[in-house]
Amino acid sequence: MTATKRPAPAVPGGRPSDEDPIRVSFRRYAGVRTRVLEVGDTVPEPDVPRRSLRRRSATPHVRPTAPRLVLLHGYCDSADTWRPALEQLAAAGIPAVAVDLPGFGDAQPLRPGPMLPQLDAFATAVVREQAVLGSVVLAGNSLGGTMSLRAAQNSRLPISGVVSIAAPGFVDSWLIRAVARYPLPLRLYSSLPVPVPGFLVRKVAEQLVPRLLYADSGAADATQVQRFTALFPDYRATKSRLEEARQLVAELADAYRLDSVEVPLLVVACGKDKLVTAASGRQLHTLVPHSRLLVREDWGHCPQLDDPVEVAELLTYFAASAVRTTQAKRAAATAPEAVSEDTAAG
């Protein structure tokens, strides 16, 4: 992992960059260079030997008391979706990072082939980096929720808890099912001999994005909407994203091994979500019996945009609870071994 620090740009709304609590850097995870938004404690310098980092991470007094949040965004999104929540976390003194997933934002593109294994390797590298400084709690929205769940399936990863927000692949909306079936209108669009003019593509995206992502399209932030629509500048880019979405939906059919999830899990279902229905969250909760379920009827597909204050509070309280639960379970698991060793020594 390498890091290159850059000054953080000014945030929307005209606030000077030197008042922005969010630090911006570029790092490399699993061979993918990407952008990182970070608040709270920083990761160690990249030139510190990895062996020395392991010794430091095993020493209790060098670990911060607050758990570290790793925030993963959804499909066709970027780390900027977490900016409002990151500001709240920074004010509360909670360390957190949000990263551009491969293929999105300022990250390098995905390689040809299956997408989920590449994203798994990337998420694993992020978690291992952050775990050097403290207990890690993963929180993901949409595709990020999928990646968080898949990371939780890996018992070797140092994860203390997971928040899955609107993860697809359980009981999805008609729109996601339509992408999977590739109906006639989409096939016709992809095979048009004359590309649709770019200005028309952007105009349609400007109308659709607020309706798909927000609970109330009238309250959509113009800067966030523009960030999404920039992903569809023309016919070719839109066609490429559509093909990528079809591949991802196909991979979701075999994405989960939920019986392997043992860490605390909070499932967030959103009543006004037009992409992943609240029924999907309820199904996930049923499949992981020890999970907790939060249903918010007033949230849309991206609640971190609808209500960043409450989302930040939710993540903060769950992370603290999850770390306590996980530490207690680990202590209980090792206690019999310690007793047995003492008995044998006596």
- Yes or no: say if 265 and 290 are a contact pair by the CB < 8 Å rule: yes
Per-residue confidence band for 200, with pLDDT thresholds at 50, 70 and 90: low
Token pair in block for residue 168: 């697809």
DSSP SS3 for 295: strand
Question: Can you tell me the mean pLDDT for 244-252?
Answer: 88
Query: Which segments of 183-307 does DSSP mark as H helices, in order?
Result: 184-190, 198-213, 222-229, 235-252, 278-287, 303-306
Backbone angles phi, psi at 57, to 5 degrees: -70, -25
- Yes or no: say if 247 and 115 are a contact pair by the CB < 8 Å rule: yes
Res 240: pLDDT: 80
Q: Which of 65-79, 137-151, 162-176, 231-245 shows the lowest mean pLDDT across its residues?
A: 231-245
Tell me whether residue 290 is exposed, middle or buried, using C-beta atoms within 10 angstroms of its C-beta: 0 to 12, 13 to 18, 19 or more: exposed
Backbone angles phi, psi at 26, to 5 degrees: -120, 130
Give residue-wise pLDDT tens across range 48-78.
444 443 443 343 443 445 789 999 999 989 9
- pTM confidence score: 0.81
Q: How far apart are CA 147 and CA 123, in angstroms?
A: 7
Res 211: pLDDT: 85
Give residue-wise pLDDT tens across range 275-323.
999 999 999 999 999 999 999 999 999 999 999 999 999 999 999 999 9
Closest CA to 320 of 30, 69, 55: 69
- Yes or no: say if 161 and 326 are a contact pair by the CB < 8 Å rule: yes
Which one is predicted more confidently, 34 or 171? 34
- Yes or no: say if 311 and 304 are a contact pair by the CB < 8 Å rule: yes
